[in-house]
Structure 1
């Protein structure tokens, strides 16, 4: 199970987002970076699962601000 918490109540930041990916600790994961989604062509900022060929993600945001 993954957990995500966010707040918009900080005076210095528009959004603070904290996320925990609940996998085993040694599962290979990329550092957050921009990449192009193959289906939509959108640029996405996220970490990615390096164990699976699909390189899936569990939390990301587009340059337009859409999150998933």
Structure 2
């Protein structure tokens, strides 16, 4: 995804601890998501999940599978 693009969370992958943490932050399948800011190849990404703005590391972000919104 590029900054400003939206989609729907399709799946959250990883071990039990990571999946549980992401679900607690609102990264649940079916939730709307928008990439707010991407700093490039390093550093965190900022996303909006529902009405909440969250910064997460790239490793965690890679665990969230997103279905792009239809144009």
Q: Normalising to structure 2: TM-score of the pair?
A: 0.28
Which structure dedicates a bigger proportion of its chain to helix?
Answer: 2
Which structure dedicates a bigger proportion of its chain to strand?
Answer: 2
Q: Normalising to structure 1: TM-score of the pair?
A: 0.28
Higher relative contact order (CA 8 A, sep 6+): 2
